Amino acid sequence: MANEWLMTTTSPDETRRFGVCLGGVLQAGDVVLLGGPLGAGKTHFAQGIAQGLGVEEPVTSPTFTLVAEYEGRLPLIHMDLYRLYDEPTAEVVTLHPAALAQIGFDDYLDGSGVVLIEWARGVESDLDDYLSVDIAHGLQAVDDDIRATTRELRVRAEGAAARQRLQEWMDAWA
Ligand SMILES: Nc1ncnc2c1ncn2[C@@H]1O[C@H](COP(=O)(O)OP(=O)(O)O)[C@@H](O)[C@H]1O
Ligand SMILES: [Mg+2]
């Protein structure tokens, strides 16, 4: 079973639809880590996941609230841990357990919903089963106009449930 998938999208809408497709196969207890610089398309992708999960409320990045919870076919818990780091873009980051405890991090991972985490580098080593999606600006296109709407999405599955979900996502997208 594949544990990695490289996908190129050429429009914001395609990135969103790629998320919708994932949202359609996600199950309770699934964890998705979402990475990439500002303007990469994380919010578009997250909105797609929410749509695929049947969430009707508008989804934004919970940069200030840290955690937002939505009701869909399953609960969607959307976290943005950016503000919990001293230096979010440092090569090695540490996230203090007390800061995580304060937002009730562990409780959200009790398996009752889908957990989507932005800026997850500081918790990755504590998780044993997750999909990670890293979005980068397209590098291949030479033309600036094309580069502006090309994104490379690198999907990685860690753990058996995530590998299974990756397969289902690939099948659903095909
Ligand atoms: N292929 C693409 N996928 C997603 N966004 C794209 C793409 N091409 C251009 N964009 C633009 O990039 C920006 C992505 O914004 P957003 O989803 O808020 O990113 P982030 O949450 O990572 O900061 C939007 O202005 C969108 O129109
Ligand atoms: Mg965003």
CATH number for the domain that contains residue 28: 3.40.50.300
Number of domains in the chain: 1
Ligand 1 pocket, 41 CB below 6 A?
A: yes
pLDDT digits (tens, 9 = 90+) for 74-122: 999 999 999 999 888 888 898 888 999 999 999 999 999 999 999 999 9
Domain containing residue 49: 4-173
What is the residue whose two structure tokens read 């994104």? 151
Ligand 1 pocket, 47 CB below 6 A?
A: no
Mutation choice for ligand 1 from 7, 33, 44, CB with most ligand atoms inside 8 A: 44
**What kind and span of H or E run contains 25?**
helix 12-25
Per-residue exposure over 20-35, b if at least 16 CB sit within 10 Å of its own CB, e if not: bbbbbbbeeebbbbbb
CA distances from 73 to 7, 27, 84, 85, 124 (A): 26, 10, 30, 32, 26
Cα angle for residues 104, 113, 74 (degrees, 5° grid): 140
Ligand 1 pocket, 78 CB below 6 A?
A: no
CA 22 to chain centre: 10
Q: Phi then psi for 165, rounded to 5 degrees?
A: -65, -35
Ligand 1 pocket, 12 CB below 6 A?
A: yes
d(CA 77, CA 145): 35
Residue 29 pLDDT exceeds 70: yes
**What kind and span of H or E run contains 33?**
strand 31-35
pLDDT band at 64 (very low <50, low <70, confident <90, very high): confident
What residues have CB less than 8 Å from 169, skipping those under 6 apart?
5, 21, 22, 25, 155
Q: Which residue has the higher pLDDT, 98 or 64?
A: 98
Which residues have C-beta under 5 Å from ligand 2, the single-atom ion?
Answer: 42-43, 61
pLDDT, averaged across the chain: 93
pLDDT digits (tens, 9 = 90+) for 9-25: 999 999 999 999 999 99
Other Cβ atoms less than 10 A from the Cβ of 84: the count is 22
Residues 53-73, mean pLDDT to the nearest whole number = 93
* Ligand 1 centroid from CA 41, angstroms: 3
pLDDT digits (tens, 9 = 90+) for 110-155: 999 999 999 999 999 999 999 999 999 987 555 666 668 999 999 9
